[in-house]
Amino acid sequence: MAAMYRPDPANPAARRPRLVVVLLVAFFALQLLVFLAFRGAPSPSVPGGPVAHVPESPRRDGEDSGCVGGLVYVYDLPPVFNEDLLSLCDVLAPMYSLCPYLANDGLGFPAKGANLSEILPAELVGSWYSSDQFALEHIVHRRLLSHRCRTTDPALATAFFVPFYAGLAVGRHLWAANATDADRDRDCLALLSWLHAQPYYKRSNGWDHFIALGRITWDFRRSPDGGWGGSFLLMPGLANITRLVIERDPWDAMDIGIPYPTSFHPRTAADVRGWQRYASSRSRPKLFAFAGAPRSAIKGDFRGLLLEECQAAGNACGALDCGEGRCIKQNELVMQLFLGARFCLQPRGDSFTRRSLFDCMVAGAVPVLFWRRSAYRQYGWYVPVGNDQEGEWSVFIDRDELRTGNVTVRGVLAAIPEARVHQMSKRVVEMIPKLLYSAAGKEGLGDGMKDAVDVMIDGMVRRVAEQRQSWRRL
């Protein structure tokens, strides 16, 4: 109050200029005090038990690294939730050891097919690995640890990554004869118990957190009546966490579809462009190709129908039998098949999605889909979706029309004008970079090129920004 006290002067008219100066100084001093007071005030609390020392709004300090959308903090989990699971690689799958495929930070051993040098450009052979389709958790974790948009200070983070290898934790019990529902859920419950005690989880109740899952969403959605899989995604403590998963539930907005890992893991943009040129210049003598094994035990097996279509097309079609894990152990055979075809058939597999879709597109072939849930309702962050865009890079054939014999695969594909086929293939080749999980270091592929993890980070920080106002009001 002393600063605001001014006794009346004996001659107000004579002192009016001085009075104006005093008033202006007092006004600006008051503005400065208000600014400093608000800058130092603690953030308002969020219902649900936030910790007072945790900033409500993270500072945006990513400009220097090019991460203007925000930075990602990677939790340092107890090793029982990730590293220890890798040590069990010999017993994680029933038919073969995962050790060769989880080595090398999840990329697997370098590919060593007998005819690899005949299939791939010599300078790119070193970018191909024996990657397993379910190794995504390990691949994403290692990529984020060295990513330019990673921060080790959680106070600076926009989004928080939880590197729990849930697919390995649940998967090791999926085929075990004596495994119980409790076995499949034990690690997941322990992870949530640990996570819920973390101050940054409490601040948002999980809304700015995300996790990558290396198995399809249905492996984590066991029915209340029992049956296949774990129940991780149905646990209340996971309800607000974004799940990046190789196959999403189209009716769950917290599931985001991300690409299956392929065997191609380039280190630089130059490597990717070299591959794009190679894929674009390939002679493709086959009209279409199909890699897969029939499911004879399934009534009306659609894969069997496609194999019949392929046989009927003669030299216009190439087929590869993927029985007994052949396409996993010798993925170069899949790449060779798709590099020689203009189109590749992508029916549903054991579920609606398949790694083969991404092998196909990396090879520069145009995918042919029969279920919308195989891609269009899955990978919206990675492929153009919507009726006006899907035809740019894919062909959709009504499976019921095919079953009834009203159309044939060969007939539909042969009717597409050559110029149109060229444009579709060109569009697929353009999309290749963001379908890949690169082996790049901190700076990424370079030259402004983004891989699947870059797209993931962009999508996640954008998602957090869109949701922040909503979760603050909860």
Q: How do residues 157-171 score in pLDDT, each as one tens digit?
A: 999 999 999 999 999
Angle at 70 between CA 67 and CA 75, to 5 degrees: 110
Residue 95 pLDDT more than 60?
yes
Question: Per-residue DSSP letters for 385-423?
Answer: -STTTGGGT-EE--HHHHHTTS--HHHHHHTS-HHHHHH
Of the pLDDT bands very low, low, confident and very high (cuts 50, 70, 90), residue 15 is very low
Asked whether the predicted pLDDT for residue 62 surpasses 60, the reply is: no
Place 178 in a pLDDT band, splitting at 50, 70 and 90: confident
Mean pLDDT over residues 85-110, rounded? 90
The tokens describing 433, both together, are 């970079």
Higher pLDDT, 80 or 48: 80
Average pLDDT over every residue of 33-45: 35
Q: Give CA–CA dist 71/149, Å, rounded.
A: 5
Fold of 270-435: Rossmann fold (3.40.50)
pLDDT in tens, 370-384: 999 999 999 999 999
Determine contact, residues 318/363, Cβ cutoff 8 Å. Answer: no
- Contact between 70 and 62 under an 8 Å Cβ cutoff? The reply is yes
Residue 173 Cα distances to 80, 177, 250, 274, 463, angstroms: 16, 8, 26, 42, 33
Of 174-178, 225-229, 265-269, highest mean pLDDT: 265-269
Residue 91: pLDDT over 60:
yes
- For residues 349 and 276, the model is more confident at 276
pLDDT digits (tens, 9 = 90+) for 199-234: 999 999 999 999 999 999 999 999 888 888 999 999
What Å distances lie between residue 269 and 22, 180, 314, 378, 453, CA to CA?
A: 63, 47, 39, 26, 14
Of residues 329 and 260, the one with the higher pLDDT is 260
Q: Cα–Cα distance between 82 and 140 in angstroms, integer?
A: 12
Q: Three-class SS of residue 242?
A: strand
Query: What pTM, to 2 d.p., does this model score?
Result: 0.85
pLDDT of residue 473: 57
Closest CA to 339 of 391, 286, 375, 392: 286
Contact 338, 331 (CB under 8 A): no
In the predicted structure, residue 90 carries a pLDDT above the cut 60: yes
For residue 65, the model assigns a pLDDT of 56
Please compute the mean of the pLDDT values over residues 238-250 and round it to a whole number: 96
- Average pLDDT of the chain, as a whole number: 85
Report percent pLDDT > 90 for the chain.
Answer: 67
Residue 297 confidence (pLDDT): 63
Residue spans of the domains in the chain: they are 71-261+438-472, 270-435
